[in-house]
Structure 1
Amino acid sequence: MREILSIGLMSGTSRDGVDAAAMQTNGIEVGKFFASLTIPYSREEQLSIAAACLPNKVCEETYVRANKIVTKAHIIAVNKLIKKLCISREEVGVIGFHGHTVRHDPIKKITEQIGDAEALAKETGINVVYDFRSADIKAGGQGAPLVPIFHAALCLNIPRPIAILNLGGVSNVTWVGPDYDIYKPDDNNLYAFDIGPGCALIDDWVRNKKGWLFDSEGKFSKTGVVNFSKLDKLMGDKYFNLFPPKSLDRDYFDTTPLLSLSDADGAATLTRFTVEAISNSVKLMPAPPMRWLITGGGRRNIAIMEGLNDALDAPVDTVESVGWNGDALESQAFAWLAARSIAGYPLSYPQTTGVNFPQVGGRLVCADRFKSNLT
């Protein structure tokens, strides 16, 4: 496949906003990165999106409101990124549109993302690939994580085995072995799975207790004391005994048992929970990684990063240490995955999602059908 200019979009489980990034790629090699940006959600928009993610049945009005918010933010992100790139929209080959996950339960074969791909194609005049996860779920996979093959493609010139840890709302890890081959990714040198807690539980705790969007740099949690009895109960969850591939929903864990703790002690305990879960994940890898690279918003949480440095028997660095952009990495991944999708290359593999065979994915909305309506 020839190289195309692809724009990737990501609205993650932290619900902080939409990340957009552009790159030139053929869907195999990583290619060249260009500009990126973030369109933040307002506090009110975050609450509307959160309401659409509740585990019980959501009323149609709530769902429609959240869908409109997510769609509008993505349209703004694309238009602003094109302006920042100083290019015409005709130069963009495809948009990779993940949408915002409101429900993910692979056991029940459910994965649901909001955001209107047709509206995005219509308003931008650019072809859109969306619905990246459903095909994997239908073929017996977890539907997540999808970014590992992109991580692996980035690691070709880095000593391995290596672990790339995405610290978003949920934490997930990609393990890349020493003999990984970008042209033959379906082998024993690539493994991935959702570890469990990332920053979502901490964010929700300080939002409910203090009215903050997140625990800035982990400063509040460092004023508290870890309750190891509560921590042991959290770590006793059956999910940690499952072998990968495996994935879970942002709101899988129940923090109700922590309500008896002080605000600071609760934050400290949840922060330690994230660290312990990540440390515990090493036993599920084919071999201990010789280095950890951390991406996602959680890399700015000093309490988590210090905890990982203490708990892991390998150097822990942010992805910026190897020249990657941790704020744009997931949106870059979906730009790359969109290019793979239209080329017909697999997006997931048995060792990354548990799918039965290498699985293509994504659905295409062609913008040509709307061009007569564009002004």
Structure 2
Amino acid sequence: MNRARTQAKPVRALGAMSGTSLDGVDAAVVDTDGHTVFGFGPTAYRPYSDQERAVLRAALGQWTGDAVIAAARVVDAAHQEVLSGFDGIDLVGVHGQTLAHAPRLQGTLQVGDGSALAEHLNVPVVWDFRSTDVEMGGEGAPLAPFFHFACARWIGATEPVAFLNLGGVGNLTYVDPSFDTPQQDGALLAFDTGPANAPVNDLMQARQGVPYDADGATAAQGQVEQGALELFLAEPFFARMPPKSLDRNDFSDMIALVNELSDADAAATLTAMCAAGVMEAMQHCPSPPARVLVTGGGRHNPVLMEMLNVSLDCPAVPVEEVGLNGDMLEAQAFAYLAVRVARGLPTSCPGTTGVRAAVGGGTISAPDGEDNLP
């Protein structure tokens, strides 16, 4: 299949993201030619049930076996359900669900069968976005930065800004919009900041049987255990220079650091660890950004947002303040990246994943094997 597509006309692309928070599948439409974002279309969300979430949780950290097969079934069914609700789509980009990520060891694993989805939707599907980057020496993550560059242009940014995604894992993208393309040296710097919502979610599930700390209400009642926070910041990850990435469970022993604390103090301490990771990450930015635009579920946590604004030297605000959709930004990113893959454009570069050279990842599956890419 020829990926060297040079057509300039916009594509109506549908992206889907199932994140490390294990909350559900986000789906969103973007009108783009793979360079410029011309507009945003409809969105949808399909939550995982408690039973489905338990199946996914049981497969985390696994590379093969029955648990992975069961998780793949859940992911495939959820994607088919939510993506079937869209009409007039030219191309679909599906990230899938990350179960394991160890780029320097086994590689990276996302479940979600793009080939079967292409047949189900009768639309070409781009999937398996991370493997090529890892094979070429990259971290395979984060992948949204090229889209963040396009978003910085879309909002009319004229000075550097940072996008901070607070999902299960946190990641930061520093964008200098003065560059012409995202793959130029200096245009982007991106890397994972540390755990974000995942440890708090796991704590709340284990202690109170709820999937997350709604509105930071539990953390708001607690005190931060400084000793645990200091042990957290002593982790070697924070001394590493970016680019760098994490698996959802890389900091799973954080829970052990708060085992003896009350629910409120434990939630407050884990939330502070997320903010501290971001503060450490900001030191790697080439210059101070004008502001930090926060996306992902963490922006809904007022305790976390207050911690960020106290510790950072620039404002941290939800991306909604610049007209973007923080709940759908990652799904939109994979719609945008799908068009780049279909047109032979890079999706990562040394500044985003540490890959040796700018590279386009992704597998393209078309219905019945047809070469009918837009």
Find the partner of 2:108 among 106, 111, 116.
111
Which stretches of structure 1, 4 residues or longer, exceed 4 Å deviation after superposition? Answer: none
Secondary structure in 2 matching 1:107: coil
Whole-angstrom distance in 1 between the partners of 2:310 and 2:233: 18
- Within 5 A, what are the aligned runs for 1:247-258? 247-253=245-251, 254-255=253-254, 256-258=256-258
Between stretches 282-291 and 294-303, larger displacement belongs to: 282-291
Whole-angstrom distance in 2 between the partners of 1:147 and 1:185: 13
TM score, norm. by length of structure 1: 0.93
- Within 5 A, what are the aligned runs for 1:115-194? 115-156=112-153, 157-177=156-176, 179-182=178-181, 185-194=183-192
Whole-angstrom distance in 2 between the partners of 1:178 and 1:149: 11
Whole-angstrom distance in 2 between the partners of 1:231 and 1:73: 37
Give structure 2 stretches of 5+ with no counterpart. Answer: 1-6
Secondary structure in 2 matching 1:108: coil
In the alignment, is residue 78 of structure 1 matched against residue 77 of structure 2?
no
Which residue number in structure 2 is paired with residue 334 of structure 1?
334
Query: One-letter code of the match for 1:95?
Result: V
Whole-angstrom distance in 2 between the partners of 1:353 and 1:70: 26
- Within 5 A, what are the aligned runs for 1:1-375? 1=7, 2-53=9-60, 55=61, 60-80=65-85, 82=86, 87=87, 91-156=88-153, 157-177=156-176, 179-182=178-181, 185-253=183-251, 254-255=253-254, 256-369=256-369
Query: One-letter code of the match for 1:181?
Result: D
Secondary structure in 2 matching 1:217: helix
Query: One-letter code of the match for 1:238?
Result: P
Give structure 1 stretches of 5+ with no counterpart. Answer: 371-375
**Is the Cα contact below 8 Å between 1:109 and 1:138 reproduced in 2?**
no
Q: 1:31 to 1:109 in 2, by over 3 A?
A: farther
**Is the Cα contact below 8 Å between 1:180 and 1:190 reproduced in 2?**
no
Shift of 1:159: 3.5
RMSD: 1.3
Q: Percent identity?
A: 42
Whole-angstrom distance in 2 between the partners of 1:296 and 1:178: 22
Query: One-letter code of the match for 1:196?
Result: G
Query: One-letter code of the match for 2:37?
Result: V
Shift of 1:31: 1.9
**Is the Cα contact below 8 Å between 1:52 and 1:102 reproduced in 2?**
yes
The superposition leaves residues 214-238 of structure 1 with CA deviations (integer Å, 9 ceiling, x where unpaired) of: 0001110111111100110011100
Whole-angstrom distance in 2 between the partners of 1:56 and 1:95: 27
Secondary structure in 2 matching 1:160: coil
TM score, norm. by length of structure 2: 0.93
Whole-angstrom distance in 1 between the partners of 2:62 and 2:83: 32
**Is the Cα contact below 8 Å between 2:219 and 2:268 reproduced in 1?**
yes
